[in-house]
Structure 1
Amino acid sequence: MNYTILGLGDSITEGKGDNRSYLLPLKHKLDSAGYAIEFIGPNAHQSDSAYIMNAGFSGKNAEYLDTQIDSIYSLYTADIVLLHAGHNHFASEHPIEGIITAHKSMILKITEMNPRVKIFVAQVITAGKLPKYSYIPALNEQIRSLGAQMKERGLPVTLVDQAKDFNWEIHCLLDKVHPKDEGAELMATEWFMAIDQELKNAQ
C-alpha cells in the first residue's frame, strides 16, 4: 500500500543547511522496511543531492501552524501527519496553554478533513537555549495528556516521545536547538518505530 506523509512543524522539521531534517533519515528507514512512501508539502529540505518535501516553517510556532493548517492540509491531504511543534516561544510568554490549544485545534481540523488520517504527535526535543526553552519539559507533559485525551475520544492520534533519549549536548548543533546528523537520525528512529507499529496494527 502507498502512503503519503506530511511533516508539520518549524525549522526542526523543515531543515536548512547543517540543520538536518529528521524526514530524510526517516525516508531511508521506511524505504528499507519496504514501505511505499511519498513525502509531500509546500517546502523542500535539501541535503547534499537529496531533497524532501514538508510543511516545516522556520521561525514559526504552533499557533501559526494552526492558522495555516486548513489551507496546507487541503492542498496536501496526507495519509500520515507528523506534528512536531513547541519551539519559537520564550518561557516568559507562558506559552504552554496556547501551544496545547493549537495542537488540539490542528488535530480536530485535520481529522475533520480526513477521518482516515493517522496523526503522530511529538513530545518535542529538548533544547539547551535557556531560559528561553525552559518551558519544554512542562509542555511535553501537557502534550502527553493531550494525546491520551485524543485517544479516549477515538481520534487517530499516536504520541511519539521525541524528548526521551534526545540530549541537546550530543544531538544539537552549536545553537543548542537544531538537530545535527545524529539528532536527526535519533528523531527518525522514534518516528519510524511509531509509524511501523501503527501500520502493522492496521493490517
Structure 2
Amino acid sequence: MAPASSAMAESNGGVKVMPLGDSITEGTQVPGGYRIGLWQRLASGRYTIDFVGSQYNGPSNLGDHDHEGHPGWRIDQIDANITGWLRTYNPHTVLLHIGTNDVLQNYNVSSAPTRLSTLIDHITTTAPSAEVFVATIIPLANSGQESAVRTFNAAIPGIVQSKVNNGKHVHLVDMHSQLTASDLIDGIHPTANGYDKMAAAWYAALQTVPGSIGDPGGSSSPPPAGGGAIKGVGSGRCLDVANVSQTNGAQVQIWDCNGQNNQQWTLTSSGELRVYGTKCLDVNGGGTADGTGVIIWDCNGQNNQKWRFNSDGTLTAVGANKCLDVVGAGTANGTKTQIYSCWGGSNQKWTRV
C-alpha cells in the first residue's frame, strides 16, 4: 500500500489529538477513515480539536487532515518513531489502533502484546500527561487471521489495566466489537459505514475522560498540553507569576500578555495548572475563605492545586469550590488574584490564548 502524503500541518489552536496507527488510521479505501466521522462529531459537540501528526490526507469535509497513520506498519515500526513524533507534535490525547499488520504479516504474533505494552510505555514516558486511548483491533475477514486478532485483543485489557495500576493515563477502547466482517470493504479495511462506527466508538470513549478533548464551546477550553497563556476577560491581561519568580509563595497576578514562561500554564490530566514545569497554581495554605490569595508552589497533588475550567469561562479551585478572581475587579498590571465565591463577573472569567 502507498504511504500517506505529508503536507503543512493544519491547526486551529485546539486540544491536540494524535490519531496513531496503520492504514486503518490513514483511511485506506476511504481516505480520512474514521477521522471524518470523529471530526464531524467533535465539531457538532462544539469541541475545539487539533489533529496532529506528520501525515495528511482526507476529503474537504474532514476539517483537519493531520494524523500519524502509516499503511503497512507494524507495532515495532510505530514504536521506532513514536518518541520523535510525540516530541514534535506534543499531543494531549493519543488514539492508538495498531497490530493488524503484525497479524497480516504473521510477524511474531505471539509476542505482539509485549510489543504493544512496550509501545504504550514509550508513549507514557515521553508524554506523561497525555491521555492514551488503546483500541482492540477491528476484525479481519479471514478466519485464521481473525483467530489471531482475537488472541491478540484478549491480552489488551490486562495491558491497559497494568498501566492504570502504575498511575498512567491509559484507557481501553473496545473497537473490535463495534464492527463485523460485513463492515469491511476488502476483508481488512472498513467501508465508509464501518469507519463511521469506529468514529462513534472513539468519540464515546473520549467523552468518558474529562479534559481529553477539552470543554465544548471553544473559548473556555483548557490550555493545550504544551502550555499556553490564560487571559482575563475583564482585564485583557494574562495570568502571570510576579517578577518571573520561581520561589514557593510567589504571587500570581495579571499582567500584559507577553508570551514569557511565567505566563505559560499547562493543564495536567489531574487538574493541575503547572508553570515552569514543576510549580503549580496554588490556593495559599489550602484556604477556602473568600479573598484567600493565589500563589505558586511545588506541585504536591493536593486539592488546593486542582482547577476546573467551566463552560461559562470561570475557573474553579476544586478544593475550595470557589472561582479564580481578580481582586476588586481590577484591570491594572500587578493586580493580585484570589479565590472568591463565584458570581459570574468578568473578573472571574478566563480564556486561553
With the length of structure 1 as denominator, give the TM-score of the two structures: 0.90
Give the alignment of 1:153-164 within 5 angstroms.
153-164=166-177
Structure having the larger proportion of residues in helix: 1
1:179 aligns with 2:190: yes
In structure 2, relative to structure 1, the CA distance for the partners of 1:28 and 1:111 (3 Å cut) is same
CA deviation map 1:93-131 (0-9, x unaligned): 44132x222222222222222221000000110110343
Computing the radius of gyration over CA atoms, which structure comes out larger, 1 or 2? 2
**5+ residue gaps in structure 1?**
none
**2:43 is aligned with 1:31:** yes
Taking only aligned residues, the RMSD between alpha carbons, in angstroms, comes to 2.1
Counterpart in 2 of 1:42? 54
Alignment of structure 1 residues 91-110 onto 2, 5 Å: 92-97=106-111, 99-110=112-123
1:181-196 pair list within 5 angstroms: 181-196=192-207
The higher-RCO structure (CA 8 Å, 6+ apart) is 1
Structure 1 residue 153, shift from structure 2 partner? 1.1
Structure 1 stretch 87-96 or stretch 62-71: which is displaced more?
A: 87-96
Tell me the alpha carbon deviations over residues 6-42 of structure 1, each in whole angstroms, 9 at most, x when there is no partner: 0110000011343551111101111111111010111
Question: What is the CA–CA distance in structure 1 between the aligned matches of 2:208 and 2:103, rounded to whole Å?
Answer: 35
How many pairs were matched up?
200
Letter aligned with residue 35 of structure 1: Y
State how far apart, in whole Å, the 2-side matches of 1:197 and 1:90 are.
30
Q: Distance in 1 between matches of 2:24 and 2:175?
A: 12
Q: Please, what TM-score do these two structures have when normalized by structure 2?
A: 0.53
The separation in 2 between residues aligned to 1:40 and 1:93, in whole angstroms, is 29
In the alignment, which residue of structure 1 is the partner of 2:229?
none
Cα deviations across residues 63-95 of structure 1 (Å, max 9, x unaligned)? 110111111111111000000001113475441
Corresponding residue number in structure 1 for 2:286: none
1:55 to 68, 73, 79: 68
Identity of matched residues, %:
26
Tell me the distance in 2 between the aligned counterparts of 1:4 and 1:156. Answer: 16
SS, match of residue 82 in structure 1: strand
Distance 1:59 1:124 in 2: 14
